[in-house]
A and B are shown apart, each in its own frame.
Chain A
Amino acid sequence: MALMRKSKQLKWVRKHLLGLRDLSADEISFILDTAEGFEQVSTRSVKKAPPLRGKVVVNLFFEDSTRTRNSFALAASRLSADIIEFTKKSSSVSKGETLLDTARNLEALGIDILVVRHGAGGAARFLSRNINVCVVNAGDGFCEHPTQGLLDVYTIRKIKGSLEGLKIAIVGDIAHSRVARSDMWAMTKLGAEVIFVGPPTLMPGHVNRLPVRVSYSLDDIIEEVDVINMLRIQFERLGGNPFPSIREYSHYFGLTVERMKRTKRDILVMHPGPINRGLEIESEVADGPRSVILEQVTNGLAVRMAVLFLVNQAAAQGD
Chain B
Amino acid sequence: MKVIQDSGQIEQTIRDLAGRILSENRGDTEIAAIGIRSRGEILAGRLSQELSKELGKVVPCGTLDITLYRDDLNSPEGAGQPVVRTTEIGFDINDKIIILVDDVLYTGRSTRAAMDALIDLGRPRAIRLAVLVDRVGREFPIQADYAGYKSDAAPGELVQVRFVESDGRDEVVIE
Interface residues of A (CB under 8 A from B): 1-3, 5, 9-12, 34, 36-41, 44-46, 48-51, 54, 79, 306, 309, 312-313, 316-317, 319
Assess whether B146 is interfacial by the CB under 8 Å rule. Answer: no
**A50 to chain B: which residues have CB within 8 Å?**
68-69, 116
- B38 near A44: Cβ-Cβ < 8 Å: no
A309 to B82, CA, bound (A): 10
Q: B14-49 vs A: 1/0 string, CB under 8 Å? A: 000000000000000000000000100110010000
Measured CB to CB, the closest approach of chain B to A91, in angstroms, equals: 29
- A49 near B68: Cβ-Cβ < 8 Å: yes
- Which residue of chain B has the shortest Cβ distance to A5 in the bound complex? B85
Could you tell me the dominant secondary structure of chain A's interface residues?
loop
**Known contacts A45-B122, A49-B68: does B73 contact A37 (CB below 8 Å)?**
no
A10 to B65, CA, bound (A): 19
Measured CB to CB, the closest approach of chain B to A40, in angstroms, equals: 5
Measured CB to CB, the closest approach of chain A to B55, in angstroms, equals: 22
**B78 to chain A: which residues have CB within 8 Å?**
316-317
Measured CB to CB, the closest approach of chain B to A8, in angstroms, equals: 11
Measured CB to CB, the closest approach of chain A to B105, in angstroms, equals: 21
- B84 near A45: Cβ-Cβ < 8 Å: no
- A317 near B76: Cβ-Cβ < 8 Å: yes
**B41 to chain A: which residues have CB within 8 Å?**
1, 3
A11 to B80, CA, bound (A): 8
Measured CB to CB, the closest approach of chain B to A314, in angstroms, equals: 9
Identify 11 residue pairs between A and B in the complex whose beta-carbon atoms are under 8 Å apart, listed by A's number. Answer: A1-B63, A2-B85, A2-B86, A3-B165, A11-B81, A37-B87, A38-B84, A45-B122, A51-B69, A313-B73, A319-B76
Assess whether B1 is interfacial by the CB under 8 Å rule. Answer: no
